[in-house]
Structures are given as C-alpha cells and as structure tokens.
Amino acid sequence: MELNLHKIKILKIILLSLVVSHETLTKLDTRFYHSSCPSLQQITASVVASYIQQDPTAGAPLVRMFFHDCAVNGCDASVLIKSTPNNTAERDAIPNQTLRGFDIVDEIKSQLEAVCPGIVSCADIIAIAAKDAVFQQGGPDWIVELGRKDGVVSSAAEAEALLPSSHSNAATLVASFAALGLTSRDMVTLSGAHTFGRAHCTEVARRFYGYNSSNGMDPSLSVTYGQTLRSLCPQPLNPGSSVPLDPTTPNTFDEVYYSDLLQGKGLMSSDAALVADPHTARYVTEYSQSTDAFFNRFTAAMLKLGRVGVKLGSDGEVRRICSAVN
C-alpha cells in the first residue's frame, strides 16, 4: 500500500512537471530568452538606435511591419519571407511593397546569430524592434512578451485579402481588427502609430487632387493642409516622393496625431474616417487630450496585437535567415 502511494505521488509529480512544461510552450513569456540569449535586448536596441540616428524616419516602418506581419496568419515573421519561383510571398503583396525595415531586422538577426545561434526567432525580433522604435522616438516603453516561432507559409494573396486599405472607412477598419480579436478602441489606438512615419504621395494624392468637389479636395481635409500637401506632392507625381503622416511632429511618437485629425489633418482616408464615425471619434478626442491615456492604451494594444495567431513550441521554427524558411 505504501509503495502504491509512493508511486502515485511520483506520477503526480511527473504529471505536474508535464503540465508546467506544456504551459511554457503555450504561453509567451517576457523572460523567454533570459538565459539562452541575455544580450537580445541590448543588441536589438543598439541596432535600431543606429538606424534611427542615420535616418529619423527609420523607426515607424518597424511598427508598420509588426502590424502587417501579425494581421496575416499571426505574428510569425511570414512578412519577411522572400518570394520564390513557386510562391509569391506576403512581402510582394501590393500593401507590402512600400514596407521598409527589412535591413534592420536582418542586421539584428545577424548580430544575434553571432552570439546565440539558432535561438531567437525573427518573429520576436520584429516585436522587440517595433517596441524599441516607439520608445526611442519619444513613445512609451514596455516589456515585450516573447517565445514566438517563425512560420513557414507566406502568401501574397492572403496579405492582399486581409490587410486593411488606407481608403477604408471606420466600419471596415473595425471589422478588420475584430477579425484579429481586437476592439474598436484597439484599432483607434494602434492607428496612433501614424504619429510618425511617411506615406508615398501616390498613395494619398487622390485626397487633394481630382476629388469630386468644388476645389478638387476631400471635404474632410483642411483646405490649408490640402494646399500644403499639393506643394509637397506636385504633379506629375514622383513615385519616390513622400509626405509625413503627422505634419506637426513627424518624427516624434506622441498624441499630436489625434489633435491633427480633429483639425482635418489626417493624411489618409482611413485616418480621417476615425473622426467621421462618432463611435471612434470619442477615442480620438480622449487621446488628443491625454498623452498618458494614449501611451497606456497603446502599450496594452501592442501586447494584445503581439499575441495574435502566435506559433509556439513545436509549431513553427527559428529561421537561420529571416527572409527564407530553413
């Protein structure tokens, strides 16, 4: 009888250890690389800082990349995979053809492989780099949850079907984010990433040239701002020219983006849509009045976004090169 009780205790210990082990494989963990790659945070922050120092517009694309990755098959770095003769990958989808920051991710990966080879996933690098970009340009700081694995599937067709358009109205945006498990507040909050970065003139020119109105401008656009945009994007449009998403503090992560929206200075139709809908406009007003409210909500929304469709444990791989599956 004592022997049987002893065996039962041992079995309970084994089962408990298996449960704990399973939990570590099914949850993101802020200390995931604490022992296996302790220099991860320092290397990532250093590389991001070096690029921003060379180019103040380098940070915003990393946040955009994070969203474009997570919105298609979850946060699995599938957006980094290059196309092959047999597959057109997300990277070459129309919404992703203006993505930047691939070189930054590659540099971080290269340095990490030199000190802890085969340990850190490209998906986690994107998540950390996005956080560093926000913080280093004046935004909030937070501890990133880690442990994602890299996906092995990447489809341009899926990216084109799932990524929201810059011409979307509020209802369409809310629906797109709801499909990711994110609320309307999350959507307005994450749109605040447009507080820094740039957009190509060719993408936004329809709002201030040839619009079906008396002056050819979108009525939701401030006339003064529209005239400024015309001077920055003269016709014929240069495919390489761009304008700041936030005309007031273009390279600083702050709440001014929301104040701009209330003044008719939303660059994209999807920006202006946030104030056209009363349900989303209330969040715009709230954030325009409080940096703390925006920063706190943005941190929470980025953590929530970073949990979308993650691959953990044996589901996925750690790529040796971020642009290709192993």
- E-assigned strand segments in the chain: 198-200, 242-244
Centroid of chain to Cα 36? 26
List the one residue out of 92, 63, 95, 94 whose CA is nearest residue 80.
92
Q: Where in the chain is the domain with CATH 1.10.520.10?
A: 40-162
Q: Where in the chain is the domain with CATH 1.10.420.10?
A: 170-305
Is the per-residue pLDDT at 241 higher than 90?
yes
Predicted local confidence at residue 26, as pLDDT: 58
Which stretch of 21-30, 60-69, 176-185 has the lowest confidence by average pLDDT? 21-30
Is the per-residue pLDDT at 11 higher than 70?
no
161-215, pLDDT tens digit by residue?
Answer: 999 999 999 999 999 999 999 999 999 999 999 999 999 999 999 999 988 888 9
Superfamily of domain 170-305 in the CATH hierarchy: Peroxidase, domain 2 (1.10.420.10)
113-135, pLDDT tens digit by residue?
Answer: 999 999 999 999 999 999 999 99
3-class secondary structure per residue, 193-249 = HHHCCEEEHHHHHHHCCCCCCCCCCCCCCCHHHHHHHHHHCCCCCCCCCEEECCCCC
Is the per-residue pLDDT at 28 higher than 90?
yes
Is the per-residue pLDDT at 20 higher than 80?
no
User: Which one is catalytic: 6, 22, 34, 68?
Assistant: 68
List the one residue out of 113, 117, 111 whose CA is nearest residue 47.
111
What residues have CB less than 8 Å from 167, skipping those under 6 apart?
A: 268, 269, 270
Predicted local confidence at residue 213, as pLDDT: 85
Average pLDDT over residues 126-155: 98
List the one residue out of 182, 183, 191 whose CA is nearest residue 269.
191
Predicted local confidence at residue 210, as pLDDT: 82
Residue 119, CB-side half-sphere exposure with 13 Å CA sphere: 18
Predicted local confidence at residue 8, as pLDDT: 37
Question: Is the model's pTM score more than 0.95?
Answer: no
CATH class held by domain 40-162: mainly alpha
Is the per-residue pLDDT at 144 higher than 60?
yes
- Average pLDDT over the chain, rounded to whole? 92
Which pair of structure tokens corresponds to residue 232?
């920055």
Which stretch of 84-88, 162-166, 208-212, 283-287 has the lowest confidence by average pLDDT? 208-212
Q: Is 149 helix (H, G, I), strand (E, B) or coil?
A: strand
CB contact at 8 A, 246 and 56: no
| Cα distance between residue 65 and residue 72, in whole Å | 11
> What sign does the CA torsion over 315, 73, 178, 105 have?
positive
Cis peptide leading into 236, omega within 30 of 0? yes
Which pair of structure tokens corresponds to residue 313?
């444990």
Dihedrals phi, psi of 150, to nearest 5 degrees: -85, 140
What residues have CB less than 8 Å from 131, skipping those under 6 apart?
A: 141, 142, 144, 302
194 is an active site residue: no
CB contact at 8 A, 69 and 77: yes
Q: What percent of the chain has pLDDT over 70?
A: 92
Predicted confidence band of residue 5 (pLDDT cuts 50, 70, 90): very low
Q: Residue holding tokens 């797109």?
A: 176
Other beta carbons within 10 angstroms of residue 136's beta carbon come to 18
